[in-house]
Amino acid sequence: MSDALARTTLLAVLHVTNGDSAVMGLRAADVPGDILAWRDILHEGPVPAGLDAAELRAVRARFLAAQGWESEAEARAEMEARDARLARAVAEGEELVLWFESDLYDMLQLAQILDRVRPGTATLLIAGEEEFAGVGELDPAKLRELHDGGDAGGLGRRLSVDAALAEAGRAVWTAVRQPEPAALAAVTDTAALPALGDAVRRHQQQYPWRGSNLNRTERALLEAVQAGARTRMQAFVAQQRGEERPFMGDSTAFAYLGAFAGGPDPLLENHGPLRLTARGEAVLAGDAVWGGRPERWLGGVRLPAGTPPWSWDPVAGEIV
């Protein structure tokens, strides 16, 4: 047995985090134990209720493959291995250390994990609650400081996953997966971890807004083009700057931009420099409604193409 494997086996610690960049940082910080990346973009695509773990993996793998990010078989195999590793840690009583940040992407992953762990068996190291910073953005010294009980210069804190936090995570996970969005309103205030409720509120804003049929991300991307962004990357960077807690990757933003350019009445010209069409200008001005919206899933809610049955009312601050 190698020294590294012997050390991992002796310590019986599993670190779970949000992706490859964070994994590399934790390895550079020399944290003891195994490190597991939880790779899934749960704020996009179907995450329906009523499925067992294998059925949910199949649904997610099909969605990820449809985006062209990896094959369905690869995605399913990765999720099977991921789920099995966490299940083994839970069953064998390994120490669990959860490394996540306060954005929507991470908080949905955390909610899924909290639905599977027992209170008192895990520690959460959360970054970016006050001044946003991602786990993958912290240098190894700050990651090690956070691991050893410090606050990484105010960029993170350590929490025991007690009954209140575990229940908050389970409640968010259950609400997000419901086939209608009404349950979300009950989990926007999560005292055990305010970032969970904040993420739910941001998730609500991904519903089409009353008056334009654009969600918050879509409006920000079109406003970036209106303000002079001429490439997809420029539009994405501008949209990210407007987020309190950036959560979206460039591939997802590019898919949003592609949807604007499709259909019989596009909002965007993307052959060459990006430019709004007359229809796009009218929708942004509030003089028209985007009728070309493609079908989209938000958690357990299927939003049909066109004008969906639910929308976000920015004045009332609720889904109607």
Q: Does 305 fall in a domain? A: no
The per-residue pLDDT for 9 is 44
Domain end point (choices 166, 182, 203): 203
Could you say which DSSP state residue 242 is in? Answer: T
Clarify whether residues 165 and 220 are in a common domain: no
Per-residue pLDDT, averaged over 35-41, amounts to: 96
Q: Does 172 fall in a domain? A: yes
The per-residue pLDDT for 263 is 84
Per-residue pLDDT, averaged over 203-228, amounts to: 97
Clarify whether residues 183 and 275 are in a common domain: no
Confidence of residue 305 (pLDDT cuts 50, 70, 90): very high
Which helix H or strand E contains 253, and what residues bound it? helix 250-260
The per-residue pLDDT for 3 is 45
| Phi, psi dihedrals of residue 305, rounded to the nearest 5° | -60, 155
Closest CA to 41 of 293, 249, 198, 216: 249
The per-residue pLDDT for 264 is 85
Domain end point (choices 155, 173, 203): 203
Determine what percent of the chain is predicted with pLDDT higher than 90: 91
pLDDT of residue 6 exceeding 80: no
Clarify whether residues 135 and 235 are in a common domain: no
How far apart CA 221 and CA 231 sit, in angstroms, is 11
Clarify whether residues 92 and 182 are in a common domain: yes
Q: Give the structural domain span for 287.
A: 216-292
Clarify whether residues 196 and 225 are in a common domain: no
For the chain, how many structural domains are there in total? 2
Clarify whether residues 168 and 73 are in a common domain: yes
Closest CA to 146 of 136, 156, 138: 156
Q: Does 211 fall in a domain? A: no
Clarify whether residues 57 and 79 are in a common domain: yes
Clarify whether residues 193 and 241 are in a common domain: no
Clarify whether residues 287 and 156 are in a common domain: no
**What are the start-end ranges of the H helices in 44-193?**
53-66, 72-92, 104-114, 140-147, 163-176
| Phi, psi dihedrals of residue 199, rounded to the nearest 5° | -65, -40
Instruction: List C-alpha distances in Å: 209 to 46, 213, 249, 283, 312.
Output: 20, 5, 22, 11, 5
More confident residue, 270 or 171: 171
How far apart CA 268 and CA 271 sit, in angstroms, is 9
Per-residue pLDDT, averaged over 160-180, amounts to: 98
Clarify whether residues 122 and 266 are in a common domain: no
The per-residue pLDDT for 265 is 86
**19 close to 136: Cβ distance less than 8 angstroms:** yes
Determine what percent of the chain is predicted with pLDDT higher than 70: 97
Q: Does 46 fall in a domain? A: yes
Task: Round the CA-based radius of gyration of the chain to a whole number and report it.
Answer: 20
The per-residue pLDDT for range 112-159, each reduced to its tens digit, is 999 999 999 999 999 999 889 999 999 999 999 999 999 998 999 999
Q: Report the CATH number that the domain containing residue 286 is assigned in CATH.
A: 1.10.10
Strands (E), the chain: 13-17, 34-37, 45-46, 95-101, 122-127, 156-160, 268-269, 275-276, 296-299, 301-303, 312-313, 318-319
Q: Does 34 fall in a domain? A: yes
Domain end point (choices 203, 236, 264): 203
Q: Does 276 fall in a domain? A: yes
Q: Report the CATH number that the domain containing residue 54 is assigned in CATH.
A: 3.40.50
Q: Does 127 fall in a domain? A: yes
Confidence of residue 173 (pLDDT cuts 50, 70, 90): very high
Q: Does 309 fall in a domain? A: no
Helix (H), strand (E), coil (C) string for 11-24: HCEEEEECCHHHHH
The per-residue pLDDT for 11 is 55
Clarify whether residues 224 and 149 are in a common domain: no
pLDDT of residue 73 exceeding 90: yes
Clarify whether residues 224 and 191 are in a common domain: no
Length of the chain: 320
